[in-house]
Structure 1
Amino acid sequence: MTSPTRPTTGAIWMVLASIASVQVGAAVAKNLFGVVPPVTMAWLRLAAAAVALLLLSAFARVRTRRDARRHQELSAAPLSARSWPAGLAYAACLVGMNVSIYEAFARLPLGLAVTLEFLGPLGLAVLGSRRALDVMWALLALAGVALLGFTPTGLDPLGVFFAILAGALWAGYIVTAARAGRTWPGMDALTLACTIGAVVLAVPALHQGGAEIWRADVLLAGAGVGLLSSVIPHSLEMAALKSIPPRVFGILMSIEPAAAALAALVLLGERLSPTDLVAMGCVIVASIGATRSA
Structure 2
Amino acid sequence: MRRPIKSSRRDFLSLGLAAAGMAGLPLMPVRRSFAAGAAEFTVLSDGHLMLPLGFSYPDVPQDELKAMLAAAGQPVDSLAPDCNVTMLRSGDRLILFDVGAGGNFMPTAGKLADSLAAAGVEPDEVTDVIFTHGHPDHLWGLIDDFDEPVFANAGFHMSAVEWQFWTDPETVNVMEEARKTFAVGAASRLALIADRINLFAPGDEVVAGVEAVDTAGHTPGHTSFMVHGGGDPVLVAGDAISHPLISFEHPEWPSGADQDTGMGIRTRMALLDRLAADKAAIIGYHLPMPGQGRVERTDSAYRFAPDA
Scaled by the length of structure 1, what TM-score is found?
0.24
Q: Which has the higher contact order (CA 8 A, sep 6+)?
A: 1
Greater C-alpha Rg: 1
Structure having the larger proportion of residues in strand: 2
Scaled by the length of structure 2, what TM-score is found?
0.23
